[in-house]
A and B are shown apart, each in its own frame.
Chain A
Amino acid sequence: MLATEQPESRGRTRFILKKMLGSLLTLVFVLVFNFVLFRIVQADPIGSLFRGRNVPAAKIADLRTAFGLDESLWVQFWAYVRQTFQLNFGISYQSRQPVWNEIVSAIPATVALVGISAVLSAVIGTVGGVIAAWRRNTWKDHAITSGTMVFYSMPDFWLGMILLVGFAVVLGWFPVGGMTNAGTSATGVALLLDRLHHIFLPALTLTLAYLGEYALVTRSSLFDVMGEDYLTVARAKGLRDVVVRNRHAVPNALLPVVTLIAINFGFVLSGAIAVEAVFSWPGLGKATADAIRGPDLPMLQGLFLLFSAAVIFFNLLADIAYAWLDPRVEGA
């Protein structure tokens, strides 16, 4: 990006390196914590896995050995660390398939649902916030602020249930759950439409739920810059109001919003557990709920590591973006 070596860019590089190191240390902490977390409870995964199955006791003891559960915690821990560094997340207790494959197969559904909602809510929420701030204390401001706050303050699963009952059960406009019509033979455009039909309500739920955050942050951030001298100068130059707003006020006000977008994207993988349950959406949230019921330790470890890594990565991205956008950062 930067062709010329500027004096402040060295400070910026140091800032970014520091942040990267911090992220790495956080990830290491998560790796250790992850292991401890699922072993704090006095638990016998094999015992509960087989309860109600007609399996001889000797056979269960064999399986504990096979899963390494009769080893000391240290031995189990080093095996876990070694495996993780080889990008091997183990075999799921329940499906007997590699954890990584199980996770990968559930990622697209969640990324599609939460990704679409995150983009829509960021765009619509930000635009709404700009309008609300620029038309301060008008009916527009009140409508936008209170409207988005109503949805923001509702628990998202509850909002989801209301939309489900209204649009899917009473009106019958949308399906009551799932990602496609079960066993559909549709392909191409028909399949895409089927998926859009299914994703509509859950995506609407999440979009409405996130709107308020963006609208409020944008609005208050714009208030901060609206009194600045450079806006007065811009107006004095005779620029039209809309140019003053879009060219001079909004870009500066967007800094905190960029951070918010990045942080929210960190939760794209894990942020919709409740809504996925309401709409029977087959993503990572549902996979987590199923794994907890086991408990499928390798699966949970893999999922939590992925969720943590995503949050850490996007936080790092937010820091870096901030460093690029805001020249005042090197002082930090």
Chain B
Amino acid sequence: MRRMAVILMLATFGAAIAPAAFAQEDAEVVLRIGLTQDWETLNPTAGFAVSEYEIWNVHYATLTDKAAADFAPIPGLAESWEVSNGGLTYTYKLREGLKWSDGEPLTAEDVAWNVNTGRDQEWDNMLSTVINLDAKVIDDRTVEITSSVPDPKLPNMDVYLVPKHIWEPIATDYDATVEYEALDGVGSGPFVISEFTKGQSVVMVANPNYWGWNGENPPIDKVIFQTFANPDAMVAALQQGELDAIHGFPAGSAATLEDDPNIEVVAGRQGGFDEIAINGGAVTGQPHPALLDLEVRRAISFAIDKAAVIEDLWFGLAGPLETMSPGADEAKWIPDIPVDKAFTYDPARANQILDDAGYLDTDGDGIREMPDGTNPIVLRHAVNTDGDLAGPIGELFTGWMEAIGIGVELASYDQDALFGVIVEGDYDTFFWGWVPFVDPDPMLSYFTEAELESYNDANWTDPRFEELYLEQKVELDPQRRIDIVHEMLTILHDAAVYIPMYLGPDLQAYRTDTFEGWVRQPADIGPVMFSNSSPSYSLLRPVGSGSAASSDGTNWLLIGGVVVAVALAGAVVVTRRKSSADDRE
């Protein structure tokens, strides 16, 4: 027994000693970023988490970049482009002397191979961009991309281009491509992956061949992303200077961080929103019949106090929203809804609407019935247990509905089960959210017939909306397209099936005494990192000299080790004494 204990101790220590680590010198400038999400894979054809996109934003340069201010296409790997063939063909001219981080030339061959292979193998993250495209190499620095249909997203080509010389032998088919671990470290962005420890960190080192350094030495040697399962611990690490920036902390910590003179809090917005959705009845499962009446849906919309949610649950950090936000650029895509049509909180008016429409409480139990006096209106509200706010919102919703004589039964589901419930139509209302892409097309497509039983979680369709959707998809005149999108969102708003609650902020904070040059995307309201193309990384410079203060834990490290050793030694001595007592017997 005693020997076993000692062996176990040694074994557990043995398990704790495994090779790790990447060389790091004292003089290095290191940017440390904390986040609460882990990474599952760093393969840009397979992953989908926000944490993973951020690594790709840094590791890969794209053919065109997006302006920090408004996402407009600006030169990236391509220094210029020309349009021809009635807007169907774009010819991109690459910068001179482009190289991958391993020194191999980056040419038009790389671009064309990515576009065509991504299309043929249907790479998840690329397919919607390249599905109608065909790329042709003209010469080393010229690539011609032709779309089979008019595509308003062009000339934007924001897909991550992987190095052909590494990937071509691996990417034999879809399965082989997505199963590749992609830890070769060859990229074209400002920093490239050097080490990935799942559940802990991603270490990225400066890429001397990144075009944006303009031949100068990179001002930062290393970027380390560290994941925390405990957001409060992450906040503490920023306050202590162990981290330079953090992403995704609880709203309740914002006030504490704002009190620190060396910390800047950013409530970044890029179109993300949460909504209460009403079952529109377009799939098998039907809502309570009252919900099929537009008047009832309008009454419910008037009874929801969005301002209170923004104030009480978001501490004022979220933005107001009247209709759905379809893209990252809020100013561009969200239409103004006239004041007289807006659903501003007014429970008295909601009650009036229901009275006028004949939904009366005939039996005096506080719940209204259908106009024929039967079938009390009790809503099955689905609560998504994977979000922090769904529970509180469910409670608030119950109170708001009670005030207008509508009952609510709450049912909890995890995200996955909720998806199933929505597809089946077994619900009346739910609370969930979206973070849209830069281009509004995908978000708008979720309200079309083709997406029923998939992403159409409103279970609602509308013939005019459908028509306009197809129009905007091929409209190459930017202003005309904006007008069409605005009209679509007004139709969706007036149908009162999708009640946006607020524009949700992405909470971030950074130290102002270690690095400077953080850029918001989009301007004024956007986040400084984990944004659509994350321009901050190539613009950051250390404040004064040196990097963030590292923790002075060395002495305590020794003491901690000694304490454990003493405890173990004590345990051994106790068992030894026992045996020596045996000997003396």
Interface residues of chain A, those whose CB is within 8 Å of chain B, are 41-45, 47-57, 59-60, 62, 66, 91-92, 94-97, 102, 105-106, 108-109, 111-112, 115-116, 119-120, 122-124, 127, 161, 164-165, 168-169, 172-187, 191-197, 199-200, 203, 239, 242-243, 246-247, 250, 258, 276-283, 286-287, 289-290, 292-295
Contacts and interface: CB of A to CB of B under 8 A. Distances in A.
Nearest to B424: A42
Interface string B189-206: 000000101111101000
Nearest to A120: B567
Given A47-B454, A60-B454, A186 B21 contact: yes
8 contacts: A41-B420, A44-B420, A47-B419, A96-B43, A176-B240, A178-B201, A197-B557, A250-B578
B226 interface: yes
A97 B179 contact: yes
Interface of B: 1, 5, 8-9, 11-13, 15-25, 30, 32, 38, 40-41, 43, 46, 48, 122, 124-125, 127-129, 131, 175, 178-179, 181, 195, 197-201, 203, 222, 224-230, 232-234, 236-237, 240, 242, 386, 414-421, 423-424, 434-435, 437, 442, 450-451, 454-455, 551-553, 556-561, 563-564, 567-568, 571, 574-575, 578, 581-582, 584-585
A251 to B, nearest CB: 10
B48 A49 contact: yes
B560 A197 contact: yes
Contact of B434 (A52, A62, A199, A239): A52
B199 A123 contact: no
A295 B418 CA distance: 12
Contacts of B575: 123
Consensus secondary structure, chain A interface: helix
Contacts of B455: 51, 57
Q: Which of A91, A164, A182 has the largest number of chain B CB atoms within 10 A?
A: A182
A280 B435 contact: no
B442 A54 contact: yes
A282 B5 contact: no
Contacts of A293: 386, 415
B249 to A, nearest CB: 13
Nearest to A91: B179
A48 B419 contact: yes
Nearest to A265: B8
Contacts of A116: 9, 12-13, 564
A168 B124 contact: no
A139 B309 CA distance: 55
A176 B415 contact: no
A177 B420 contact: no
Contacts of B227: 280
A183 B40 contact: no
B201 A54 contact: no
B131 A193 contact: no
Closest 5 CB pairs of A and B: A282-B199, A115-B12, A185-B24, A182-B201, A197-B557
Contact of B578 (A161, A246, A277): A246
Nearest to B239: A169
Contacts of A51: 415, 419, 455
A56 B416 contact: no
Contacts of A278: 229-230, 233
A277 B230 contact: yes
Given A54-B128, A57-B450, A96-B46, A200 B564 contact: yes
Contact of A183 (B201, B560, B582): B201
Contact of B230 (A54, A177, A185): A177
A115 B15 contact: yes
Contacts of A187: 19, 21
B224 A194 contact: no
Given A97-B179, A193-B561, A282-B198, 10 more contacts: A52-B435, A56-B131, A92-B40, A96-B43, A115-B15, A177-B228, A180-B200, A196-B560, A279-B230, A290-B40
Contacts of A122: 5
Nearest to B197: A282
A110 to B, nearest CB: 9
Contacts of B197: 282
Contacts of A186: 21
B266 to A, nearest CB: 22
B5 A119 contact: yes
A247 B551 contact: no
